[in-house]
Amino acid sequence: MFESQSVEDQPLLEPRQLAPKERFSLLWREWLKPFLVIAITLLSFRSAVADWNHVPTGSMMPTILVGDRIFVNKMAYDLRFPFTRFRLAEWGAPERGDVVVFLSPRDGKRLVKRVIGLPGDQIQMRQHRLIVNDEAAEYAPVDPGVATHLEERTLEDHRLHSESLALGETHPIMTSLWLPSLADFDPVAVPDGHYYVMGDNRDDSADSREFGFVEASRILGKATAVALSVDPDRHYTPRWDRFFRNLP
């Protein structure tokens, strides 16, 4: 008669060691491939559909503050193949007064400025007053709420105005009391397929007055709102009232 062995007495089977190729195949299927699919999908979405950009400078104050993260509609004017400037379709064009994100003609850096001149426009400025196609922009006192998050020293050294361009929306601008270095420029004609852009902080902005016209293909999208905002001078405290605020 054979004696039965209990489960405890039975020898344990050693787990089979996976070969290096099998280990890599398992790692690829379970981790790397899903992560890669998610990353490519997210990056493609940000490249062609919508993006959110951090703003590190004050060239668009008081409209956009340092520490704002702005929402950019990449499909405002066209649809492009992800990671390229190749247009798959086009259904619109920037309008005067739009805030756009584009690649600088000077060094290729991503910038945000306001469209002042359209193709065919003639632009000039006299003592901070824009003249578009011989029609002067209108200026008025700014809404006090615009200055809510500006430093006291900034308010002492600058004037705030509400600017209304011909056939454009009204928006705030800021001019320096002490450094009006870019207050005037002679008439310039905007060539076809190009745009003239300026910062709302008129005396502290590198824009078309320095690097010239912006080719339409360099415009990546339209900035429409502040997604979120933090104050870097106050330990990155959130500016809750600026969250999800539309840009004028």
Catalytic annotation, residues: 59, 113
Residue 201 gets which letter from DSSP?
Answer: B
What are 161's strand-pairing partners?
173
- Residue 148 in tokens: 């809510």
Assign 31 to helix, strand or coil. helix
Tokens 């840009």 correspond to 247
Cβ count near 231 (within 10 Å): 15
Beta-sheet strand order (sheet of 158-164)? 138-140, 158-164, 170-176
E strand or H helix that includes residue 135: strand 135-136
